[in-house]
Amino acid sequence: MRNQAVPELQRVPLEEVCLGIISVGFANNCMDFLLQAPQPPAEESVQTALALLEEVGAIFFNGSKEMLTPLGKHLAKIPVHVKLGKMLIFGALFKCVDSILTVAASLSSKSPFSTHIDNATQAATAHRSFLHPTSDFLTICNVWKAYSLALNNGRSEGRRFCDKHFLNQSALMEIHDARREFIDLLAQIGFVEGEEFKRDKTEGLIEFHEKVRSSRYNMNGENEALLNSVIFAGLYPNVAHALSPGGVSTALPTFWHKKRTRVFTQFLRELQKEKIRI
C-alpha cells in the first residue's frame, strides 16, 4: 500500500476542473494554473482534458487562452461529465428527453442485468426479451420502460418483475434517482421548465416518470433515429474500439494515437441509412 493517498489532481479526470477554471476566470491558461498546485497533475493529463473539451465543443483556443463556447458555458454549470451533460442538453433540445435521461443514468449506474453462474442460461434468455436489434443503449431503455410499466401495478409487482427477468432492482432504482437528478440539472440551466417537473410531496416514482414521458420535452421520444443521433453526438469521439496487438477484425480499420481501432460500422450504417445530420 502507498504511504500516502495519491493527490486528487493526479488521479481524477480534469475536464470538470478545467471547465471550472475557465468559467470562473482563475487563469487564461489551465496548464499554467494547475502546474502551480502544490501537487500538480501530469501535463499529459491536462492536455488530454483540454483536447476532450475541445472535441466535445465546450472550449476553443484564442492563441494560448482557453475560451468557453456557448455549450461550454452551460456544461460548466452542471456537475456531470461533459459528455453526459452534452447528451442531456441535446436530449432536451431535440425533445427526446425521456430515453436520453435513461441512457445517461445507465452510464453512471450499475448494470440492471443480474446474472449468476447457476442461472446464466435462464438469465440470458430473459434478458433477450428486451434486446434492441442495433443498440445496447436502447436495450437499456426497453428494460426501463418495461420495469416502469410493472410498477404501475405496485412496488411488489416491480420486485416480482425483476425476479422473473433477472434484473437488479437496486440498479434500476439508481437509474431512477439519476434520472430525477438530471432533470433537475436541466431545469437549473433553463433547458426544461422547472415548474413542469416540480415535485409534489405525494408524487411517487411512477407519477414522476409518466410526467417526463408525456411532457413536451419528449415529443420525439419514439424517434429511434433521433435518439441514436443524440447518443452519438454526446459520446463522440468515442465511436471506436481499440484492438489489442495482434487483434483480428473484419471491420473498417482506422488509426488514432498510433493504435489500431475497429469502428462500429453497423451503428454508422444505421445513421447513414436514416440520413442523420449531427
What's the pLDDT score for residue 27? 81
Domains of the chain: 8-75 (1.10.10.10), 82-220 (no CATH), 239-273 (no CATH)
Residue 57 exposed, middle or buried by CB count within 10 Å (0-12, 13-18, 19+): middle
**How do residues 205-239 score in pLDDT, each as one tens digit?**
677 888 899 999 999 999 999 999 999 999 887 76
CB 209 within 8 A of CB 148: yes
pLDDT at residue number 197: 81
Please, are residues 162 and 127 in contact by the beta-carbon 8 Å criterion?
A: no
Q: What is the pLDDT of residue 175?
A: 94
pTM above 0.85, yes or no: no
Average pLDDT, the chain: 83
User: Can you say how many angstroms the Cα of residue 11 is from the centroid of all Cα atoms in its chain?
Assistant: 21
Position 117 scores a pLDDT of 67
Helix (H) or strand (E) holding 260: strand 259-263
Contact between 16 and 72 (Cβ < 8 Å): no
CB of 8 within 8 A of CB of 41?
no
String of b and e for 195-216 (b: at least 16 CB within 10 Å)?
eebeeeeeeebbebbebbeebe
Q: Is 262 helix (H, G, I), strand (E, B) or coil?
A: strand
What does DSSP say about strands 65-68 and 253-256: parallel, antiparallel, or unpaired? unpaired
For Cα atoms 48, 73, 55, give the angle at the middle one, nearest 5 degrees.
Answer: 30
Q: What is the pLDDT of residue 11?
A: 74
pLDDT at 276: 41
Query: What are the cell numbers at 19?
Result: 471547465
Ranges of residues in the chain with a pLDDT under 50 are: 1, 249-267, 271, 274-278
Over pLDDT 90: what percentage of the chain? 49
